[in-house]
Structure 1
Amino acid sequence: MSQIKFAYWVPNVSGGLVVSKIEQRTSWDIDYNRKLAQLAEANGFDYALSQIRFTAGYGAEFQHEPVAFSHALLAATTRLKVIAAILPGPWNPAVAAKQIATIDQLSGGRVAVNIVSGWFKGEFQAIGEPWLEHDERYRRSEEFIRALKGIWTSDSFSFRGDFYRFSDYTLKPKPLQQPHPEIFQGGSSRAARDMASRVSDWYFTNGNTVEGIKAQIDDIRAKAAANQHSVKIGVNAFVIARETEEEARAVLAEIIEKADPEAVNAFGDAVKQAGKASPEGEGNWAKSTFEDLVQYNDGFKTNLIGTPRQIAERIVALKAVGVDLILTGFLHYHEEVVYFGQQVLPLVRELEARQATEAVAA
C-alpha cells in the first residue's frame, strides 16, 4: 500500500494563503521560498505547487511567474518535485513543452505542471486574451495536455485541434521523466472531472468533507476506468496544527475575524461567476461561504485543524476514500512546515502502517 503524499502551496504571491489581515510570517520573496523548499524537503514533503497570477488583487498585490520561480526552487533542492502552474491562452503548448523539458533536464527530472483552465475573466481581459465559455476553457486545456504529451513522447508530432495545430514537430531534448513530467489539473465542474478522467495524471479538488471528496473521487475513477485511464487525487487543505484543539480553533477564528471583506467578496464574485457559467451552474466555489472563501480553495472545509493526532487521523480517513495527496497551506510557513513534518507526518505513517498490518491480517 503506497503512502499518502504531501505538497505545499508555494507562496510566490504576496499576502500568504488567506485573504486576511492577520499577521503572517510568510513572504513571497525568493530567499524565503528557497529556505521553505529546503525545509519542506527535509520534513517529508514530496511536492511544491507554484501559483499563477497575472494581475494584482484579492490581497495578492505581487506575484512571481511560476515557471521561472519553480526552476529557482528546484535549483535550491535535491529531491522535492515542483509543480509549475501553466495557463492555456497566455502559454502556447510548444513553448510550455520546451520550457518544461529544459527544466526537467536541468533538475534531474523533478518538474511537473498544473494546467489551470482559468477562472478570472478580468485577468484575461487585462492582458488582451480572449475569454472562452466555461466548457470551452476545459476543451482548450484538454487539447493543451494532449499536445504536451505528444510533443514530449513522440517525434514528428502532428495534431489537428480546434485550438492548437502541429505538423511534424520534433522536440529535442525531451524531458528526462518517462513517459513525461506529471500533469496536474484542478476544478470541480463536470467538464473538469471529465477532462481529468481522460488525460490528466493528477486531479486537484477544493477542500471538502470526506463524504464530499469520496463522491467526487468515485465519479472520476469510474469515468477514468471506462476510458482505460487512471488518475490520482490531490485535496486542498489549510493546516492549523497546534498542541490543543482550542489553540488551533482560536487561530482559525482570528483569521476569519481579520478577513479582508472587500478582497474576499471580490474574489468570491469572480470565482462564482466563472462557476455559474458551467452548464450545470456549479464550479469549484459554488457552495462556498464567506468564511470558506477566506482561504482560496476552501482549505478550511477539509478540517485539518486541531492537534497533530486529530489531523493525522483525518488525513488517513481521506486516504481511505481514495485521496493520494494532501495539498497544504499554512499561516506561518517556515515554522509550521517543520512542525507538521515533525509532529503530524510521523503519526500519519504510524497509522498507515497499522492499517496495512490490519489489512494483511484480515
Structure 2
Amino acid sequence: MTQLQGQQCEIAWFSALCDDDYEFLGVPDAQLQSSWEHCRNIVLTAEKGGFDNILLPSGYQLGLDTTVFAAAMAPMLSRLKLLWATRIGEDWPPQLARRIATLDRVLGPNAAGAGGRLNINVISSDMPGEKMSSAPRYARATEVMKILRTLLDGKPLDHEGAHYKLKLDPPRMTTLSGKCPPFYFGGLSPDARDCAAECADVYLMWPDTMDTVRGLISDMTARAAKFGRTLKFGYRAHVIVRDTEEEARAYADRLLSKLDDEVGRAIREKSLDANNAGVQRQAELRGAAGGDGFVEENLWTGIGRARSGCGAAIVGNPDQVLAKIRAYQAEGIEAFIFSGYPHAAEADLFSRHVLPHIEHGPLTF
C-alpha cells in the first residue's frame, strides 16, 4: 500500500453533536448520546489520530450547541482545525462576525503561524418555527456571506439588500489572519448552487455515484466562473473499513440488524432540513441501489435508512477505501469529511488503516 503522491487532500472527521451516534442504527444508546464528554472524546480521538479538520454539526432541535462546544474544545486542541457549522437563519450577521473572530482567536494559530484554524460550514437554515421558501432563503445566505467576508476582511460595510440594510465599521476583534475564514457550503437545488458559486470557498457534496459527482463538479465550476471565481470541492461520506471486504460488509449489515423501519423514518424526518433537495437525492440513491444497498462499487446506501442528510458509506478493506478516495481525488475532490458508527471507534480504525497512506493536510486558500 503506497501513498498517492503529489496530490494532497484535507481529511476531516465528524463529531456527533446532533444525537447521531449508534452501535446499531436507530437504537438509542445512553453511552453514545450527544453529551459534552462523548463529543469531546470524538474530537480528541480525531486530533490524536492525525486528522486535519473536524466538522462540528448544528441542529436546532438536536444535541449540543455548536458555538459553546467549539469554544470549550478550542483550548484542548493544539493542531486540529474546526469546521464549525452555523445556521444562518438563527443569527444576526454583525454578531456572527464577532463570534467567528473570537472563536478563531480562542482556537489559536495554524502550524505555520500564518493564520487561524477555524473554518465555517454555512447552513442556509430557516429560523426555528418559521418556513422560508428556497429562493429567498438562499438569497439571504448569499447576503450573510458577503457581509461576513467584508467585516472579517477588516473592511467597512455598506450593505443594502433584500434582507439586510447595514452600514458598519469593521469589528475591533479580528481573526488571527485578519481575513474571513473559508466558507464550506453545500446544497443541490439551483438556488443553493448559485449561492455557493457566488460566495463559498469549498462546495460540499453528499455521497453519490461517480458520474453524478463528476457532473456536479463540472456544473459548479461553470457557475463559479460566471462570478469570476473558482471553488474547491469537498465530499462528505461515512466509512466502514475492515481488514477484508467481507468483514466490512458484515459490519454494515450489523449496523442495520436492529433497525425498525418506522424508527428509521422518524429519525429521517426529525431534521428541519428533511425535505431539501440534497436529502431527496439521498433517498433517490437508496432507491437506485441493489438489494444489498450498494449503488456502485464500495458505496453503500444503508446508512440513509436511519439518517437525514449524508446517507451512504464507503465500505471495504483499506485498499478499496483508498482506491475510492483516490478516484474522487481524480475527479477534483480536495477535501473529505468522514464519519462512522460509533464515531470514536471508527475514527481510530480509519486513522490506523487508511490515513497513513494518504498524502493529506489542511486546505490552503
Give the TM interval when normalised to the shorter protein.
Answer: 0.7 to 0.9
User: Unpaired segments of 5 or more residues in structure 2?
Assistant: 1-5, 109-115, 288-301, 361-365
User: Unpaired segments of 5 or more residues in structure 1?
Assistant: 57-62, 277-281, 351-362
Aligned residue in 2 for 1:124:
128
Please say if residues 309 and 347 of structure 1, whose CA atoms lie closer than 8 Å, have aligned partners that are also in contact.
no
Which of 11, 14, 35 lines up with 2:16 in the alignment? 11
Please say if residues 104 and 177 of structure 1, whose CA atoms lie closer than 8 Å, have aligned partners that are also in contact.
no
Partners in 1 of 2:308 and 2:276 — Cα distance? 14
> Structure 1 residues 67, 131: closer, same or farther in 2, change over 3 A?
same
SS in 2 for 1:85: strand
Deviates more, 1:12-21 or 1:234-243: 12-21
Aligned residue in 1 for 2:345:
335
Query: Per-residue CA shift, 1:309-344, capped at 9, x if unaligned?
Result: 110110010100011111111112223212211211
Please say if residues 71 and 103 of structure 2, whose CA atoms lie closer than 8 Å, have aligned partners that are also in contact.
yes
SS in 1 for 2:203: strand
Please say if residues 6 and 44 of structure 1, whose CA atoms lie closer than 8 Å, have aligned partners that are also in contact.
no
> Structure 1 residues 198, 155: closer, same or farther in 2, change over 3 A?
closer
Query: Per-residue CA shift, 1:49-92, capped at 9, x if unaligned?
Result: 11111225xxxxxx111111112222211111112211122111
Q: How far apart are 1:35 and its partner, in Å?
A: 3.0
> What amino acid maps onto 1:95 in structure 2?
Q
Partners in 1 of 2:89 and 2:260 — Cα distance? 30
SS in 2 for 1:239: strand
1:213-232, aligned counterparts within 5 Å?
A: 213-232=213-232
> What amino acid maps onto 2:17 in structure 1?
N
Aligned residue in 2 for 1:32:
38
> Structure 1 residues 258, 136: closer, same or farther in 2, change over 3 A?
farther
1:53 aligned onto 2:65:
no
Q: How far apart are 1:268 and its partner, in Å?
A: 4.4
Partners in 2 of 1:87 and 1:12 — Cα distance? 14
Deviates more, 1:29-38 or 1:3-12: 29-38
TM-score, normalised relative to structure 1: 0.83
1:299-338, aligned counterparts within 5 Å?
A: 299-300=311-312, 303-338=313-348
Please say if residues 15 and 343 of structure 2, whose CA atoms lie closer than 8 Å, have aligned partners that are also in contact.
no
Size of the alignment, in residue pairs? Answer: 331
1:167-316, aligned counterparts within 5 Å?
A: 167-268=167-268, 271=273, 273-275=275-277, 284-285=281-282, 287-289=284-286, 291=302, 292-300=304-312, 303-316=313-326
> What amino acid maps onto 2:185 in structure 1?
Q
Identity %: 25
TM-score, normalised relative to structure 2: 0.83
Aligned residue in 2 for 1:86:
86
> Structure 1 residues 173, 334: closer, same or farther in 2, change over 3 A?
same
Please say if residues 11 and 28 of structure 1, whose CA atoms lie closer than 8 Å, have aligned partners that are also in contact.
yes
Please say if residues 197 and 227 of structure 1, whose CA atoms lie closer than 8 Å, have aligned partners that are also in contact.
yes
Aligned residue in 2 for 1:358:
none
Query: Per-residue CA shift, 1:223-255, capped at 9, x if unaligned?
Result: 212321121111111111111111111121222
1:76 aligned onto 2:86:
no
Partners in 2 of 1:139 and 1:263 — Cα distance? 35
Partners in 2 of 1:25 and 1:299 — Cα distance? 23
Deviates more, 1:20-29 or 1:200-209: 20-29
Partners in 1 of 2:135 and 2:305 — Cα distance? 23
Partners in 1 of 2:259 and 2:25 — Cα distance? 6
Partners in 2 of 1:335 and 1:92 — Cα distance? 37
Query: Per-residue CA shift, 1:142-190, capped at 9, x if unaligned?
Result: 1110111011113331111111121133211211135311111111112
Deviates more, 1:138-147 or 1:9-18: 9-18
Aligned residue in 1 for 2:143:
143
Please say if residues 154 and 174 of structure 2, whose CA atoms lie closer than 8 Å, have aligned partners that are also in contact.
no
Partners in 1 of 2:138 and 2:341 — Cα distance? 32
> Structure 1 residues 29, 22: closer, same or farther in 2, change over 3 A?
closer
Q: How far apart are 1:25 and its partner, in Å?
A: 6.6
Please say if residues 236 and 297 of structure 1, whose CA atoms lie closer than 8 Å, have aligned partners that are also in contact.
no
> What amino acid maps onto 2:286 in structure 1?
T
Please say if residues 188 and 206 of structure 1, whose CA atoms lie closer than 8 Å, have aligned partners that are also in contact.
no
Partners in 1 of 2:284 and 2:214 — Cα distance? 17
Please say if residues 45 and 344 of structure 2, whose CA atoms lie closer than 8 Å, have aligned partners that are also in contact.
yes
Q: How far apart are 1:265 and its partner, in Å?
A: 1.9
Q: How far apart are 1:22 and its partner, in Å?
A: 7.9
